[in-house]
Structure 1
């Protein structure tokens, strides 16, 4: 006679095997579906990346072809015919606004369009507003230009220091020399201000008869000598 314990173990193993096969027949399609989704998702991502690269290349080629046109009107017409979406529209508007000396009205119109397009990233819109203030110059009241620059000069905005520079120039325009010098001195001490901006601020301070204060540069933290 066989060992009862061995017989019970064999029966238990067989029951487990039957249950496993039953569960696979009942739920196995879920695993297959997961595999299909993973493979399909990976394929879709690759296709999307490839399509995005092709679209970007086509856009870049079209822009370069438009810029190679001889006349200003031809270039503008060619750029206006370029198919663009998303950030590409912002790039086109900035390109259309890149020649204010030749067509100032079209430049301002392109900048106004981009600045008011809420579908575009804030950085592009800030750049368009900043550029618009520079191009329009004294044709717009100082108060209007200052109101346009004020939000861009807020902490955290990408063109904050450039907006502060333009606001300092507005003080010069208003003949508020002392305030302008103080604003430019503050820019020279601003660690976010690029070197070119600091150089311009220094030159303007000298031109206004102010005293240039050396910019403070943060010193590295002192290192303790553990060897001694």
Structure 2
């Protein structure tokens, strides 16, 4: 049997490898051409719409940046107006502070505008113009875009301003939603409401409300003290912890006991 020489076998293997390499290169070229053709076809069909979407997105982003810069500038301007007015008010220049806030108070919606209206209402009240102050307080109280806490404050201030001329039923209707433990102005609204209950002859409701105010640790101590005294007059014990109360007032239990004994022998 004849044997194939090793050098001829090597040439055949080499030729086969070259042919395989050429085929692979050809396939890559064909694949690249196909890919390029697909890309060109895709761009021809969708290039313009995609470019339009991209440009619209860039325009929207630019518009947002412009709007944001305008908002920041407006906020800074409003803050400067409020601070300037406060400086005038603290210096005793009520008329100047009132006039400075006029433009801002005439705007709609924003928290700075609501604050400006409340400040002008306070100035009007100090100047003795109750009608103008009440109108401004009502404006804030009825403004659905204002923060709930500011609306509650305006309603409370308006009731306090017109308390003597209001019917008890009107006062109860206005203050009862505010005189709830946990609400921002519970203690102040509750005190007015409790006195209204007394005017209506509802001593039990008044005493219970005074007791709640006396136990409200977030309320000013002067208000809690008044409420505690009123609750006691109405026969309601508003003291939860005697020792804690004595400690707050800087009185020792022995000293308090001695004072009570002395009062009992008099």
**Fold conserved between structures, TM > 0.5:** yes
CA RMSD across the alignment: 3.4
In structure 2, C-alpha distance between the alignment counterparts of 1:15 and 1:156, rounded to whole Å = 72
Q: Deviations over 1:57-87 (max 9, x none)?
A: 2223233444427653443333224463422
Counterpart selection for 1:22 from 35, 41, 48: 41
Q: Is 1:49 the counterpart of 2:29 in the alignment?
A: no
Q: Deviations over 1:141-192 (max 9, x none)?
A: 1110111123445799665665445423322444533322212333556xxx
* Structure 1 residues 203 and 158: alpha-carbon distance in aligned structure 2, compared to 1, 3 A threshold: closer
Q: Specify the structure having the higher radius of gyration (Cα).
A: 2
Structure 2 residue corresponding to 1:98, chosen from 122, 131, 149: 122
Residue 206 (str. 1) matches residue 229 (str. 2) = yes
Supply the distance in 2 between the matched residues of 1:50 and 1:42 (Cα, whole angstroms): 12
- Seen in structure 2, the aligned counterparts of structure 1 residues 169 and 198 have a Cα distance that, compared at 3 Å, is farther
Gaps of 5+ in 1: 216-228
Matched-pair contact (CA < 8 Å) for 2:208–2:231: no
In structure 2, the residue corresponding to 1:98 is in which secondary structure?
Answer: helix
Structure number with higher relative contact order (C-alpha < 8 Å, ≥ 6 residues apart): 1
The aligned residue for residue 132 of structure 1 is 158
1:89 equivalent to 2:113? Answer yes
Query: Which structure 2 segments of 5+ residues have no match?
Result: 1-15, 242-266
Conservation of the 8 A alpha-carbon contact between 1:202 and 1:212: no
Task: Show the 5 A alignment for 1:60-75.
Answer: 60-67=79-86, 68=88, 71-75=93-97
Structure 2 counterparts to residues 1-228 of structure 1, below 5 A: 6=24, 10-67=29-86, 68=88, 71-82=93-104, 84-87=107-110, 88-99=112-123, 100-103=125-128, 104-153=130-179, 159=185, 163-187=189-213, 195-196=218-219, 200-209=223-232, 210-214=236-240
Q: What is the DSSP-based 3-state SS (H/G/I as helix, E as strand, rest coil) of the residue aligned with 1:84?
A: coil
